[in-house]
Structure 1
């Protein structure tokens, strides 16, 4: 993967960590994450699919796959913590 893609994925992990710290009792909606990272939903969904396959996030889709939530897996939370420094 090139540096731009890696930076985008790191940004998603860090944003999810920040959102989870702000609202620990609630999973992050895909719409909220899309706004936080400044990516269109279609691009975000592709990136989350890669991250889910790598075991970094858990994605739950609702309403026929149109909406849903995302949260860090244990591995993703550890990597996000490392990236946040």
Structure 2
């Protein structure tokens, strides 16, 4: 992956980490993460798919895939803590 893609994914992880710090043990809505990460939903969904394939997040999509929730996997939580602490 190029540096631009990595920076974009890091931005999503950082936003998810901030949200999780405020509301621990609760999945984050895609709408909330989209707003916090300042990304259109279509872009966010592609980035989350890449993070899910890497085993860093877990996605739970509702019918149609427009709404849903996301949360860190244990590996993603550890990576975020390593990067952002």
Both proteins in one fold, TM over 0.5: yes
Runs of 4+, deviation exceeding 2 Å: none
Q: Which residue of 2 aligns with 1:64?
A: 64
Query: Structure 2 CA distance, aligned partners of 1:3 and 1:26?
Result: 31
> Does residue 1:8 correspond to 2:5, yes or no?
no
- The alignment's C-alpha RMSD in Å is 1.0
After the TM superposition, which residues 1-85 of structure 1 pair with which residues of structure 2 at under 5 Å, given as runs?
A: 1-85=1-85
Question: Residue by residue, what CA displacement relative to the aligned partner does 1:2-43 show, whole Å, maximum 9, x if unpaired?
Answer: 111101111111111111110014210000000011111001
Give unmatched runs, 5+ long, in structure 2. Answer: none
Say which SS state the counterpart of residue 58 (structure 1) adopts. strand
Provide structure 1 residue ranges, at least 5 long, that are not aligned to the other structure. Answer: none
Aligned length, in residue pairs = 85
Normalising to structure 2: TM-score of the pair? Answer: 0.94
Provide the rounded CA distance (Å) in 2 between the counterparts of 1:28 and 1:9. 16
The one of the two structures with greater contact order (alpha-carbon pairs below 8 A, sep at least 6) is 1
SS of equivalent residue, structure 1 residue 15: helix
